[in-house]
Amino acid sequence: MDLSQALTPEAIVLGLKGSTKVAVIEEMVDRLVAAGRIKDRQAALQAIMEREQKMSTGMQHGIAIPHGKTNTVDDLVALVGIKPEGMDFASLDGQPARIFVLTLSPENRTGPHIQFLAEISRQLNDPQIREQLLQASAVGEVFQLLTGDRGR
């Protein structure tokens, strides 16, 4: 999957400000609402938080992938947020999360969601890419690193 189908420069946040799991998720959802990518903020938050209650989406290597399914979106939407100092996200390896990838997809469509998660995971599995993301000083750098798109 081409990550630029779901990820746009407007959906990249450098320097997330939230200091709790809920605050970071709300900050990311609010950015997607402001960009017009989510119709119903409450429904989006509910879908993500319900998924988070089942099991933390804090992975390994400083990555968290909060996600959910809701019909408040027509297609897969995604946002990448960076918090270089990290924060507790109940990650599998016990380490602070520093790179956040929030996704929402329609309840009745699983293909794009799985493809996106597989591709973003492949990218973030590379320690060099993770370090470059954390060092990025511009949204364009993050977008280019993840999508290879130099034209936006």
Largest CA-CA distance found in the chain, in angstroms, rounded: 39
Contact 132, 99 (CB under 8 A): no
Provide the residue type at 45 as one letter. Answer: L
The single residue of 21, 31, 37, 67 carrying the catalytic annotation is 67
Q: What contacts 52, CB < 8 A, 6 or more positions away?
A: 21, 25, 66
Q: List the one residue out of 98, 92, 53 whose CA is nearest residue 80.
A: 98
Whether 61 is a known active-site residue: answer no
Contact 127, 99 (CB under 8 A): no
Say which residue the tokens 């939230």 belong to: 18
Q: What share of the chain is helix, strand, coil (3-state, %, to 5)?
A: 45, 20, 40
Query: Could you give the residue numbers annotated as active site?
Result: 67
